[in-house]
Amino acid sequence: MAIQFKFVELSIVTDETLGDCVNEWVAKSWQLEGIRFVMSEHSKRPSMAFVSFTREALQEVVDRDAPRKPRPLVAMSPPGPGDDHEDEPLPPLVDPKPPSPDRDKPYVITAGHDDVE
């Protein structure tokens, strides 16, 4: 049978928050897998914790679909219902115009197609 994983992120790490988290998910028939702490170089206390749990899958999950192509991080327009932006080019990250020769005016770098000066 397949194994399910559950990860819980704790942004406040104390004995109480860890205990509450473990007790909550163990009561829901998850088994504690482990606790990973995120440390900051400026403090001896962990800044975050990731608590992982496992259990046997309640039903077998079958992946029938092939993995889909990930969407671009930046799109020219927000996707709407039925929109397919896979073949559209992404906007330039930096305005390709050179800096203004007039040093008294500030030069504005824009992302996208907006011309701002």
List the chain pLDDT tens, one digit each, 117 residues: 688 999 999 999 999 999 999 999 999 999 999 999 999 888 888 999 999 999 998 766 555 666 677 766 665 555 566 665 556 666 665 555 655 556 566 555 555 555 544
Q: Domain map of the chain by residue range?
A: 3-56
pLDDT at residue 113, rounded to an integer: 53
Whole-number pLDDT of residue 72: 65
Measured CA to CA, the distance from residue 113 to residue 90 in angstroms comes to 11
Residue 54 half-sphere exposure toward CB, CA atoms < 13 A: 7
- What pLDDT, on the 0 to 100 scale, is given for residue 40? 86
What per-residue confidence (pLDDT) applies to 7?
Answer: 94
Tokens standing for residue 74? 């930046």
- pLDDT recorded at residue 16: 95
Give rounded-to-5 percent helix, strand, coil for the chain: 10, 25, 65
